[in-house]
Amino acid sequence: MALTPSSYVVLGMLNIGARSGYEIKRFVELSARFFWAISPVQIYPELKRLEEAGLIRGSDDQRGGRRRRLFELTPLGRETLRDWLRNEEDPTVEWRDKGLLKLFFADALGPEDSVELVRALRERAERLARSFRTEIVPAAEATSLAQGTYYTALLARFGLEFNEWIVAWCLGVERDLVEAARPAKGAGKPRVGPTHGEASR
């Protein structure tokens, strides 16, 4: 059987303490979703496949009328996860950002509308940063503490710092745009050139 990235998400989540499909879903929502989304519709069939392959072991946990199935990694499953983590295929990235895409085409707009696109991007990053600060980082740190893990919290902080960096970048661009608009008396677009440069470093 061929293992997909989704398989490894499931294996990895079981390894850091998730036990049921539902818990995997919640873990993902609170962390991995930002760099690897996966939905319940993928999780449950995946659990079945992994169990058939002997990588995880499931047991029924009937509490009252509510059924649920608890899983744990088998030694084979743990080794399979570790092998994947260690193997050297180039780690692919796919980034699909409608906000950046719109900004890329912003020359089609006048200055007032285009600065609005930067602002929308910044506000999104501010919202995300806020949710990292108040929800995701604390939850990840709780998990790290409970499970004795390090990278759970590290990646949550990465998400926070990344969004803060985006905010800073947007603010730099917004500053440049108003400055470029001033001397030309609000008329022209800013020209290509040095601009705000090293906003971060």
Partner DNA sequence: TAGGACATGTAATGCGTTACATGATTAT
Partner DNA sequence: ATAATCATGTAACGCATTACATGTCCTA
* Binder among 63, 66, 67, 98 for a second copy (CB under 8 A): 98
Question: Which one, 34 or 71, has the nearer CB to a second copy?
Answer: 34
- What is the spatial distance between Cα 40 and Cα 28, in angstroms, rounded to a whole number? 10
In angstroms, the Cα distances linking 168 to 90, 124, 129, 147, 188 are 30, 13, 12, 34, 25
The interface partner of residue 64, options being DNA, a second copy, none and the CB cut-off 5 to 8 Å by kind, is DNA
Helix/strand/coil for 73: strand
* Cα R_g (the chain), whole angstroms: 22
Q: Of 21-40, which residues contact a second copy (CB under 8 A)?
A: 31-32, 34-37
**Touching DNA, residues 27-56 (CB under 7 A):** 37-42, 44-45, 47-48
Q: Which of residues 151-190 bind a second copy (CB under 8 A)?
A: 151-155, 157-158, 161-162, 164-165, 168-169, 173, 189-190
The window from 67-75, 131-139, 152-160, 192-200 that contacts DNA (CB under 7 A) reads: 67-75
Nearest to 106 by CA among 96, 97, 116, 94: 116
